[in-house]
């Protein structure tokens, strides 16, 4: 959308999403002290949410940006996620994820300013709701959607429809020859809450039989079900470094074992 704006696109743009939320922008703000000790033993998303909500309200009263509250948990998010049962992870994805995401996955201030300009001019409109159907009619698409808290369709005509949902995160549903083959052979299985690939925290892939591989490893977005915060460059860099050390250590260990077995007396 920002690219369209810079190309002086004049057409109207409508975004339809379940909650109608847009990401916040990067911005400098005062830090907020971590409250991880208050929730480190929590197993229920509702309990964690209530504590986070308390600190968001406290930060607002102190004049501290809400982004600082979420950022304060950043070093411990993986630890927290590892301790939450799968059912609670699913509950987080259903009820809290989108609100977390707009704070964590922030956009450049320039993009925020462009979006604000387009919304103020009426060129860009964000609608909370869900798309029900597309109908081709007269060289265009009729988009049928139901706005949130409504029971009847609204219809808008569009020349172009862009799917911005993103890639399939449930590897049991991914339609790719490599993934299908690995799933069929039982070498991989969907991760917790059907996010990514199941694996140990160190990246060792867990197969259909529940055994951890000493050959197949993964990192990055495929680890989201296991560690959650794994898609940012700093996260991937740390994962890659740890995995490299682990693999090099395993190779050196095998060489030492081979050398010891080769000794003759």
Contact 224, 191 (CB under 8 A): yes
Model's pTM, two decimal places? 0.83
pLDDT of amino acid 263: 52
User: At 30, is the secondary structure helix, strand, or coil?
Assistant: coil
pLDDT of amino acid 206: 97
Burial 85-119 (b: 16+ CB within 10 A, else e): eeebbbbbbeeeeeebebbbebbeeebbebbeebe
Q: What's the order of all strands across the beta sheet hosting 140-147?
A: 13-17, 124-137, 140-147, 154-158
Q: Decide the pairing of beta strands 204-206 and 212-217.
A: antiparallel
pLDDT of amino acid 224: 94
Q: Alpha helix (H) ranges present in the chain?
A: 2-6, 36-39, 45-62, 66-72, 77-82, 86-95, 97-104, 109-121, 177-184, 224-227, 233-262
User: At 134, is the secondary structure helix, strand, or coil?
Assistant: strand
**Angstrom distance (rounded) from CA 29 to CA 150:** 38
Q: Residues 173, 177, 181, 183: what is their CA dihedral angle, to the nearest 10 degrees?
A: -20
pLDDT of amino acid 151: 86
Q: What is the pLDDT along the chain (265 residues), one digit of tens a residue?
A: 788 889 999 899 999 999 999 999 998 889 999 999 999 999 999 999 999 999 999 999 999 999 999 999 999 999 999 999 999 999 999 999 999 999 988 999 999 999 999 999 999 999 999 999 999 988 899 999 999 988 889 999 999 999 888 888 999 999 999 999 999 999 999 999 999 999 999 999 999 999 999 999 999 999 999 999 988 888 899 999 999 998 888 888 777 666 555 555 4
**Angstrom distance (rounded) from CA 204 to CA 214:** 7
pLDDT of amino acid 265: 45
Contacts 24+ apart (CB under 8 A), 147-154: 148/18, 148/19, 148/20, 154/127, 154/129
CA distances (Å), origin 171, targets 193, 215, 221? 11, 19, 12
Where in the chain are the domains?
2-23+107-158, 36-104, 177-247
Q: Decide the pairing of beta strands 154-158 and 204-206.
A: unpaired
pLDDT of amino acid 232: 84
- The DSSP code for 24 is P
**Angstrom distance (rounded) from CA 128 to CA 55:** 27
- What is the distance of C-alpha 200 from the center of its chain? 19
């Amino acid at each position: 959308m920002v690219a369209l704006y810079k190309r002086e696109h004049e057409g109207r743009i409508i975004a339809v999403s379940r909650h109608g939320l847009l990401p916040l922008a990067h911005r400098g703000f005062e830090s907020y002290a971590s409250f991880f000790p208050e929730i480190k033993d929590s197993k229920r998303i509702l309990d964690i949410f209530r504590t986070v909500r308390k600190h968001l309200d406290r930060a607002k009263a102190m004049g501290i940006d809400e982004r600082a509250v979420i950022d304060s948990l950043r070093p411990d998010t993986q630890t927290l996620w590892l301790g939450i049962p799968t059912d609670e992870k699913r509950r987080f994805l259903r009820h809290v994820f989108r609100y977390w995401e707009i704070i964590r996955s922030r956009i450049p201030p320039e993009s925020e300013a462009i979006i604000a300009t387009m919304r103020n001019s009426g060129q860009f409109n964000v609608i909370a709701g869900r798309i029900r159907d597309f109908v081709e009619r007269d060289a265009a698409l009729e988009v049928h959607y139901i706005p949130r808290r409504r029971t009847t369709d609204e219809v808008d005509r569009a020349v172009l429809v862009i799917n911005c949902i993103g890639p399939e995160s449930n590897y049991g549903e991914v339609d790719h020859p490599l993934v299908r083959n690995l799933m069929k052979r039982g070498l991989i299985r969907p991760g917790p809450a059907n996010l990514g690939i199941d694996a140990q925290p160190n990246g060792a892939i867990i197969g259909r039989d529940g055994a951890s591989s000493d050959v197949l490893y993964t990192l990055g977005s495929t680890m989201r079900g296991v560690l959650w915060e794994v898609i940012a460059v700093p996260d991937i860099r740390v994962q890659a470094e740890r995995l490299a050390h682990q693999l090099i250590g395993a190779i050196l260990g095998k060489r030492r074992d081979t050398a010891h077995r080769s000794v003759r007396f």
